Structure 1
Amino acid sequence: MTKILAFFLILIAAIQVIKPLGWPGLKKRSDAWKLVAGVVVITFLSVILSALFQGF
């Protein structure tokens, strides 16, 4: 699930670089870093959550 979400967000970031989406906060091509930062945060949280629930 997390890999699918990360792939989707990276795909949106690539589209943002080619043609800006025009969403609030994503008006310029250079705003693609916000989407990449979101992917990093989601990946980091998924690793932490999977480590916490590994013992259960």
Structure 2
Amino acid sequence: MTKFLTLFLFLIAAIQVIKPLGWPGLKKRSDAWKLVAGVVCITFASLVLSALFQG
């Protein structure tokens, strides 16, 4: 599930660079870094949670 979510968000970031989505906070092409930062945070959080519940 995490890999799918990461891939999905990276694809949205690529689309943002090509043609801005126009969503709140994503009006310019240069706002793609916000999506990439979100991907990094989600990936890091999933790694930490999986390590905590690894038993």
TM-score (norm 2): 0.99
- Give aligned-pair identity as a percent: 85
Distance 1:38 1:51 in 2: 20
Q: 1:25 corresponds to which residue?
A: 25
**Which runs of at least 4 in structure 1 moved beyond 4 Å after TM superposition?**
none
Where structure 2 has 5 or more consecutive residues not aligned to the other structure, the ranges are: none
1:4 partner amino acid: F
* 1:22-50 CA distance string (max 9 Å, x none): 00000000000000000000000000000
| 2:41 aligned with 1:11 | no
Indicate the RMSD between aligned Cα atoms, in angstroms: 0.2
TM-score (norm 1): 0.97
Aligned length: 55
